A = this chain, B = another copy of it.
């Protein structure tokens, strides 16, 4: 089986290499690593590490750095997309720019998430169109953030089959299993919403619904996702909602707290999350270079992204299997969530098997979350159109529909700053 990893210079890559090497179903394996010139050297380092990891395990797996995108993807069954347009420097800009306006600086939501989407969508569509030519039947496994928005762009403007993935749903299942103190295989979650805006509306243990009992018992005290700071009050919020929101919903439900935390980290010299990761990344590549290293280093866990590799390989294995399995993924709505347009991409439970991704009918959302989700979905779909059409006014309209932007003046300012900071990626008219 042939797999291409686009954006292979990421420090995450050894995670997915590790996951691939773990599954015999993928063998013999041929992995093409691809990155832009600025990431090529890091891709080489990882390629060498991957080779050592395969050799240590004695599995039949080949890794190579591809000279071109076309070379990387031709003949592939899966293309894993995990690139970052503008690298961490762009992320840091996304995180810092909104703060003086009193707005959250976050990678995937609010102003920062918008900027990232606007830079990323053209590149993601470039990849999808290349796949239409070189590997039209391959699956595009999209980890590139903001995953839901990017997946919607590909879904609506390309014929390539694409699934958006995120490690949050799996992390929440891990959390639930810990709370219930049973193996994860005995725990099923129902999730509805959008990427980084999803809600667990039921949890089953051995087929028995237990969520309301767990809430009554106050069992949801912490959020375990590493890269999101904890806030007080989540437990009370869950008791009010009678559902468990994704940790990313802290940016909506605890906007002020999250803003203050961000400002404090910058003021205290800790830097934004992006700046912190930049340091971690340098350390990691230092380790990767070590020719004695034949495993992913334990330090990689500090990078966040727990279970990234688990969900990626689980999804690929399911897409190769007749029976397949149920997973929470980002896919075309198609009526699964009747409160949202059918062509929108949503994050829901789906049966994934080798005939495709089949979302389960999730039914209507309760009033208590419906409005927020509809609001953010309208923002997302407008962002896709703004990027595809490179339309200045659609970009502003998108931000007017984003409840974290707070109005017209901020919307205009964010769009203007995006344009002036990234003229190489964004040319609105």
- Contact bitstring A123-147, B, C-beta under 8 A = 1, else 0: 0000000000000000000000000
Expressed in whole angstroms, the minimum distance between the Cβ of A88 and any Cβ of chain B is: 29
Interface residues of A in 85-128 (CB under 8 A from B): 102
* A382-B369 Cα distance, complex, nearest whole Å: 11
Q: Which residue of B lies closest to A239 (CB)?
A: B393
Interface residues of A in 42-79 (CB under 8 A from B): none
User: Is the pair A240, B397 in contact by a Cβ cutoff of 8 Å?
Assistant: yes
* A376-B253 Cα distance, complex, nearest whole Å: 16
* A363-B358 Cα distance, complex, nearest whole Å: 11
Which of B349, B367, B378 touches A382 (beta carbons < 8 Å)?
A: B367
* A381-B255 Cα distance, complex, nearest whole Å: 24
* A326-B364 Cα distance, complex, nearest whole Å: 23
User: Is the pair A401, B367 in contact by a Cβ cutoff of 8 Å?
Assistant: yes
Can you tell how many copies of this chain the complex includes? 4
User: Is the pair A407, B253 in contact by a Cβ cutoff of 8 Å?
Assistant: yes
Expressed in whole angstroms, the minimum distance between the Cβ of A390 and any Cβ of chain B is: 16
User: Is the pair A371, B360 in contact by a Cβ cutoff of 8 Å?
Assistant: no
Q: Which residue of B lies closest to A233 (CB)?
A: B408
* A364-B102 Cα distance, complex, nearest whole Å: 34
User: Is the pair B368, A382 in contact by a Cβ cutoff of 8 Å?
Assistant: yes
* A103-B335 Cα distance, complex, nearest whole Å: 37
Residue A23 at the chain B interface, CB threshold 8 Å? no
Residue A355 at the chain B interface, CB threshold 8 Å? yes
Expressed in whole angstroms, the minimum distance between the Cβ of A194 and any Cβ of chain B is: 12
* A254-B372 Cα distance, complex, nearest whole Å: 19
Q: Which of A256, A379, A381 has the most CB of B within 10 A?
A: A256
- Given pairs A367-B378, A368-B378, 17 additional interface contacts (CB within 8 A): A186-B322, A207-B354, A207-B355, A207-B356, A209-B355, A254-B408, A254-B409, A256-B407, A256-B410, A334-B361, A335-B336, A336-B361, A338-B338, A342-B363, A358-B361, A360-B361, A368-B401
Q: List 21 A-B contacts (CB under 8 A).
A: A188-B322, A204-B355, A208-B355, A209-B355, A233-B408, A240-B408, A256-B406, A256-B409, A333-B361, A335-B335, A335-B363, A358-B361, A360-B360, A367-B401, A368-B401, A370-B374, A371-B378, A372-B375, A372-B378, A372-B400, A372-B401
* A residues with CB within 8 A of B: 102, 185-186, 188, 204, 206-209, 233, 236-237, 240-241, 252-257, 322-323, 325-326, 333-336, 338, 342, 349, 351, 353-356, 358-364, 367-372, 374-379, 381-382, 385, 393, 396-397, 400-401, 403, 406-410, 412
Report, nearest first, the 9 A-B pairs whose CB atoms are least far apart: A371-B378, A207-B354, A371-B375, A336-B361, A204-B355, A375-B375, A374-B374, A368-B397, A371-B401
